[in-house]
Structure 1
Amino acid sequence: MRPGPTGWCRSYARPAARRGRLNHLVVIPARAGSSRLPRKPLRLIAGRTLLHRTIAMARAAIGDRDGVALTVATDDAEIADHARAVGCDAVMTDSAIATGSGRALAAALAQPIAPRFVINLQGDSPFQPKGALGSVIAALEAGAHVATPVIALDWPALDALRDHKTRSPFSGTTCARSPDGHAYWFSKAIIPAIRNEDSLRARLPRSPVWRHVGLYGYALDALRRFEACPPTALENLEGLEQLRLLELGIPVMTVPVDPPSFDSSGIDTEADISRVEALIAQHGDPTPSL
């Protein structure tokens, strides 16, 4: 067992929840280091940084909800300064923290009063469905230990995901889930495999594949337990930290949400930036103004 990440250096203006009550802390982890896309949070996408777009999306999703605060958790002063420049609070966290969930926990522990729930809004997925954040908040308040959104793929969307994975095989995650919504498994492969697909296409408007949206909500105790345990072997193989939750026996509730205005998956490579810029040029920019 290893201790949870408590290393943080200093914070900028702390996120003030409305009316002084902090139930939900929404954290955007924004690490400077990225092997595939260096200094990824500051990379421009159609004239706006990835981090700026994620902040704008989060603010629009939070709206006027009571008891919800937003902060960026980073290990880089330039990234923190950029967050402040576009109107978002920032917390400096230890550069040794390797995961977004660890950085989210560090940001939560930096608050004067710990929040009940912590939402890890991945900083490389700025084009999420409008209802995703609200659906995760609702699931947590209904008793979920961990909640995360999923999208039911129709057949054209499944075809597009398959095509995307021929170029970026580790971009985009799918989920197998139970009838009551609890996750069986997550994978960078497309699961489940589909036998007799032509027959299913003729009968059903949607495929049996659910695409995972990079947004996690945790009860604080579940996040502490998760971060107190080392990564598991299958987590390391897939590169998916949520697999640790399942191997620890922590249930993960998946909440269905409608697709975003265009399908973008995560931003992990130069090719992803080019793809999203082409979608923006074709369909318009879905990022709200700050």
Structure 2
Amino acid sequence: MPTSSFAIIIPARYASTRYPGKPLVSLRGAGGEAKTLIQRSWECAAAVEGCSGVWVATDDDRIADHVAGFGGQVVMTAESCANGTERCADAIARLGDVADIIVNLQGDAPLSPSHIVSDLVARLDSEPALTMATPAVRCSRSVYAHLAEDAANGRVGGTTVVGTSKDRALYFSKRLVPYLPEKDALAEFPPISLHLGLYAYRPDALRLYNAAPASQLEQLEGLEQLRFLDLGLAVGLLHLDPLAWDSIELNNPSDVPVIERILAERGIA
């Protein structure tokens, strides 16, 4: 268990380039009950033990009103925030000193198990040299197939990550990395690590990040975490065994029925 205090911020914007209005997309769970993506993300965060507070950070009144409607807390942030990490940095600048560690639970990963958050904070606790930590899970064959199908059809799917033997991140990509020979690609658990949409930061790292310009790789890949690597900051990986279910993110409309199927199979209302 972590020793540091931590708060969870869920960045949410309406004007997504790939999927406008994504936080307010409805997902039907077991029994047919529909809840929005942002409400499911909030419920995931609220289930984390030991958290000192949960806020949705947004610049959109539609999202803010919806969150307030189901009893969530909102912090309004600037429209100029280019990504979730910048939005988290803006949020803590407005909220003040809310915790030792800030967790960014991205609102497109409603299938992430809640225990990962406390494990992630503990990972950051364990190594003072780390400025940020993020989880990676070994792909199952079905998750690998889902990512490969997205790539083959020109869709941007999940993010993969490669790291060192000491669990430091080397690179993140929206491509499948590393390259796999066919025999490895056909394995039950291909040697590909799927990056899950959670980050744990030290507040000072967020301030450094926000003061720096976007890096070229960050802009090309559309992955905010690459700015930490460009700045030479140490990013720790929390390696997870394959989950008992496919942790699919909501990146495209075609992901909705896949996520709804998994919600039904897991009995999540």
Q: Same fold (TM over 0.5)?
A: yes
Q: How many percent of aligned residue pairs carry the same amino acid? A: 34
The residue that corresponds to 1:92 in the other structure is 76
Assess, with a 3 A threshold, how the Cα gap between structure 1 residues 86 and 163 changes in structure 2: closer, same or farther.
same
Larger Rg: 1
Structure 1 residue corresponding to 2:11, chosen from 11, 29, 45: 29
Assess, with a 3 A threshold, how the Cα gap between structure 1 residues 117 and 243 changes in structure 2: closer, same or farther.
same
What SS does structure 2 have at the residue aligned with 1:277?
helix
CA drift at 1:178: 0.9
Structure 1 residue corresponding to 2:27, chosen from 45, 70, 78: 45
The residue that corresponds to 2:95 in the other structure is 111
Moved over 3 A (4+): 154-157, 258-261, 278-281, 284-287
The residue that corresponds to 1:58 in the other structure is 45
The residue that corresponds to 1:252 in the other structure is 235
The residue that corresponds to 2:31 in the other structure is none
Distance in 2 (CA, whole Å) between partners of 1:151 and 1:232 is 26
CA drift at 1:53: 0.4
Equivalent AA in structure 2 for residue 52 of structure 1:
Q
The residue that corresponds to 1:271 in the other structure is 254
The residue that corresponds to 1:74 in the other structure is 58
Equivalent AA in structure 2 for residue 50 of structure 1:
L
* 2:209 aligned with 1:222: no
CA drift at 1:266: 2.0
Distance in 1 (CA, whole Å) between partners of 2:154 and 2:135 is 22
Distance in 1 (CA, whole Å) between partners of 2:207 and 2:107 is 21
* 2:219 aligned with 1:236: yes
What SS does structure 1 have at the residue aligned with 2:20?
coil
Distance in 1 (CA, whole Å) between partners of 2:229 and 2:254 is 31
Q: Which runs of 5+ in 2 are unaligned?
A: 29-33
Q: What is the root-mean-square deviation of aligned Cα atoms in Å? A: 2.2
Is the 1:146–1:251 Cα contact (8 Å) retained in structure 2? yes
Deviations 1:50-82 (A, max 9, x none): 00000011111x22x1x6211110111221122
Structure 1 length-normalised TM: 0.82
Aligned residues: 259
Deviations 1:86-144 (A, max 9, x none): 22211111112121111111111122435322111101111113432111110122223
